[in-house]
Amino acid sequence: MGVVSSTTPTRILVTGATGAIGGLLVPLLLESGAPVRALARDPERARGSLDPAVEIVKGDVFKGEGLDDALAGVDVAYYLVHAMGRGNTGDFEQLDRDGATAFGKAAKRAGVRRIVYLGGLDGEGAAKSHHLQSRAEVAKLLEGSVPEFVHARAAMVVDADSQSFVILRNLVKRLPVMVCPQWVNTRSQPIAARDVISALRALGELDGVTGDVQLGGAESHTYRELMLITAEAVGRKSPRMVPVPFMTPRLSSLWVSLVGGVEYPLVRPLVEGLRAEMIVTEPPPPGVNDNPLTFRQAVDEALAKG
């Protein structure tokens, strides 16, 4: 196996820098020594959570505001925003479409070399998920705007601030008996937040790495197994699960929203995605996602954060 070469970016832009993934990625990027810039709708609020070394530019991806200033002189840009569940009004798919189009055009004008975008794995059943299809559409809109486009694709990210994991944790904490939809038998390959941000940093630096890159944890499980492992991690007795094959996606979403403690407009598209098998079928290149954590190790790290 040949030596993997890398190039330190001259300047990095991170969108979604105060989000669950962006907030963890920025400190890691600063370690490279490259200047890091963040695009924020509210710079004052962002300043309270970001390292003082981060330059902050006011702007809004979905409104197409501030993008030229944010991308000026940028070599590598991380696109880590999506409209779903962010307090935006209207159709999240259209907002994501508008945001990706505006960002791609601005990146092209600025001469950005590489965009790294975090989307979802595209398994069997993904076509029925508006959420996953929107993520895939965003990738296609961004792809042609720069010479090097990297589509990092992952299933559930396990972190204390990840909405998918929050739902899972709350379900096993609150219910001794679960009347479950059929998607509890779907397989997935969750990945720890630390492994995702490590991979994202590598994907911004490794030479010759473009296109789809699949990311996953050390193992795959059904959602039933994920619930049982999480229950053990939080010190709860394993819940009894009774599958109900006739539960519709809408009823399933209402059930998850009620018990999982997350608002219905965010839960519905996430639940649609749970019907899709999200498994890594093509390993990433060397230097990306090497030796990822198991799901139980990822859960323990997330629970330790709060």
User: For 278-295, what is the mean pLDDT?
Assistant: 95
- What mean pLDDT do residues 157-169 have? 86
Higher-confidence residue: 280 or 176? 280
Chain centroid to Cα 130, Å, comes to 16
Alpha carbon 221 to chain centroid, angstroms: 19
SS3 content of the chain, % helix, strand, coil (to 5): 40, 20, 40
- The pLDDT-based confidence of 252 (bands split at 50, 70, 90) is low
CB 181 within 8 A of CB 243: yes
- Per residue in 228-247, pLDDT (tens digit) is 899 899 898 776 666 666 55
Query: Measured in Å, how far apart are the chain's first and last C-alpha atoms?
Result: 41
Asked if 264 and 202 touch (Cβ cutoff 8 Å), the reply is no
Tens of pLDDT, residues 29-45? 999 999 999 999 999 99
CB 65 within 8 A of CB 59: yes
pLDDT above 90 coverage of the chain, percent: 61
Mean pLDDT in residue range 291-299: 97
Average pLDDT over residues 94-114: 97
pLDDT in tens, 124-152: 544 455 667 888 999 999 999 999 999 99
- Give the start-end residues of each E strand in the chain: 12-15, 36-40, 55-58, 76-79, 114-120, 148-154, 157-158, 177-180, 187-188, 191-192, 211-215, 221-222, 240-243
Is 89's pLDDT higher than 50? no
Q: Identify the top-confidence range among 68-72, 124-128, 184-188, 267-271.
A: 68-72
In this prediction, residue 164 carries a pLDDT of 80
CATH code of domain 12-156+190-216+279-289:
3.40.50.720
Phi, psi of 48 (to 5 degrees): -70, -20
The ranges assigned to domains in the chain are 12-156+190-216+279-289
Which helix (H) or strand (E) segment is 129 a member of? none
Work out the pLDDT band at 181, boundaries 50, 70, 90.
Answer: low
Angle at 142 between CA 139 and CA 143, to 5 degrees: 80
Residue 88 pLDDT grade (very low, low, confident, very high; cuts 50, 70, 90): very low
Task: Give the model's pLDDT for residue 62.
Answer: 94
Record the pTM: 0.87
